[in-house]
Amino acid sequence: MAIVEVRDESFSTEVENPNNHTVLVYFWAEWCPPCKVLGPIIKEISEELGDQVTIAKVDVDNSPESASKFGVMSIPTLIVFQNGEMKSKLVGLQPKEQLVQWIGEYI
């Protein structure tokens, strides 16, 4: 599945909708060096997992309400939502293998 750009205005529809199965939310910012490393990894994961997971990319500078609502204090932060509910959170740059295993618990 493609990576969807999400802003505060569309967050509830794209992520918190109870009809959504598994959504991985990637909180990032353009100025964040670890985010620049994680971005291509997230893209690879998106391509590998296909329709099993939706990836929602949230720029914390453009969507501060969403970041604040979910306690995003540092970036990158990844949060898994399932059926509209937050299930798990990871903070910081993680190896691809660890991310795939973590997401795999929810798909």
Going by the DSSP 8-state scheme, the letter that residue 39 receives in this structure is: H
Counting every residue written for the chain, the total comes to 107
**List 25, 32, 56, 58, catalytic entry:** 32
Does the annotation mark 66 as catalytic? Answer: no
| Annotated active-site residue in 15, 23, 25, 35 | 35
- 50 Rama class: left (phi>0) / alpha (psi -120 to 50) / beta: left
| Alpha-carbon gap, residue 14 to 36, rounded angstroms | 23
Asked if 19 is an active-site residue, the reply is no
Which residues are known catalytic residues? 32, 35
